Amino acid sequence: MTVATLTVSDDEADIRLDRWFRRHFPGVPQSAIQKLCRTGQVRVDGRRAEAATRLTSGQAVRIPPLPPAPPPLKPAPTVNPAATREIEAMILYQDDHLIVLNKPYGLAVQGGPGISRHVDGMLEGLRTPGGDRPRLVHRLDRDTTGLLLIARTAGSAAKLAAAFRGRDMEKTYWAVVAGRPVPVEGEIDLPLKRIGGERGERTAPAERDDEDAARAITEYRTLDHAARKLSWLELKPHTGRTHQLRVHCVAIRAPILGDVKYARPDQNNAFAATVAGLSEKMHLHARALVFPHPGGGVMRVEADLPPHMAETFQTLGFSAPPAHQPRRDGR
C-alpha cells in the first residue's frame, strides 16, 4: 500500500483517531497504530496527532504504508432469535442514529463473571443490513430499570458519549425510598470513591481532600410520601459516578427500597419494616432523558414504570403520569 489520504465523514466526527483507524483498517493492531502516530507517520491535516485525538468532519488523515497481510477474519457473530425478540420488545424509539430501550429489572447491561444474559449480547440482533453493530454508550445497574441509549453508528456513539461526559444529557430518575428526606428537596454534593469490601467493590462517601475521591452531585425533590414512612423522589444526577444515586440516598437517610447493598446498619430496622408487604426488588427507575440528537435537534424520551414499581405506586397511592411519546424537537 502506498501513502493515501482519507477524509473524515460527518458520521465519524468526534471519534478518537485510533478507533477511526481500526474502523477503516481492522487488521492493524492498537500497538501499531500508536507507533505510527508516535513516529508521525499518521497525520491529521498535515500535523502530528496522538492516538487519542478526536477527529472532526472534513479532516484529512494521512495513511502510511501498512502491513499487507491482515489477520484472519473473525467468524460472523450468531444471532439468537429469542434474544432478538426480547430486546425488540424493549424498544421505545429507534431511527438511523440511535435506539432507546426501556430496560427491565434484573437484566445486566454487559457481561461479567456469572453473567451470560445481557443487553450487549443481544445487540447483534438489532443490526440493520449493511450497518454497524449497535453499541452501548452508557450503563444502568442490573437492578435499575428504565431508559438505556444504544448508538447505531460509531459517529452517533461518539456524540452521545460526549453528551454523557458533559452537561448536555439531562437525566431524571424516580425512586421509592424509606423515610422522608429533610429537607424535602435540595442538592447532595458528596464526593464518592470506589473501595473493596466483604461484598465486593462498592462506592462509599469520601472526604473532599481524598485523592481517590470524585465529586458527585445529585439534585433531589420529594414528589409524594406515605405517612412519612415512604417517599417518591425525583433524582437528577449532575455527575455520573457508579452507584451515585444509591449512595446519595443513603446519605440523606432515605435508602432506596430493595437496595440492601447500601442501606446502613442504623437504617436496617426502619428499612425492613418499610418494605414489608412490598416488592423486594430495587425501586430505582431511569424515567427521562433530554439530550442533543446526533442527527440534530433535541430528543426527549420517557419510560413507564416497571411492574414492581407500578404495583408499589398503586399500593401507596402515588399517582404517576404515563410516559410521553418520544419526540425530537428543532430538527
Tell me the catalytic residues: 141
Q: What is d(CA 187, CA 239) in angstroms, rounded to the nearest whole number?
A: 12
Q: Report H helices in 179-283.
A: 244-251, 268-275
What are the start-end ranges of the H helices in 89-167? 154-165
Stated as kind and residue range, the H or E segment containing 107 is none
Which cell numbers in the block locate residue 308? 414492581
How many whole angstroms separate alpha carbon 78 and alpha carbon 74? 12
Distance, in Å, from the CA atom of 116 to the CA atom of 96, rounded to the nearest integer, reads 28
Looking at the chain, how many residues does it have?
Answer: 331
For residues 285 and 309, give the distance between their C-alpha atoms in angstroms, rounded to a whole number: 8
- Is there a contact between 116 and 108 (Cβ–Cβ < 8 Å)? no
**Which ranges constitute the DSSP H helices of 89-165?**
154-165
CA distances 92 to 102, 156, 259, 291, Å, are 7, 18, 27, 16
Residue 71: which residues within 8 A CB-CB, separation 6 or more?
Answer: 27
Paired with 103 in beta bridges are 146
Kindly list the distances between the CA atom of residue 118 and the CA atoms of 107, 122, 140, 173, 301, in Å, as whole numbers in the listed order.
Answer: 6, 7, 11, 22, 22
Written as nine digits, the cell of 147 is 431508559
> Residue 262: CA atoms inside 13 Å, Cβ hemisphere, count?
27
| Region label for 200, one of left (φ > 0), alpha (ψ between -120 and 50) or beta (otherwise) | left
- Residue 290, beta-bridge partner list: 170, 300
Distance, CA of 11 to CA of 2 (rounded, Å): 26
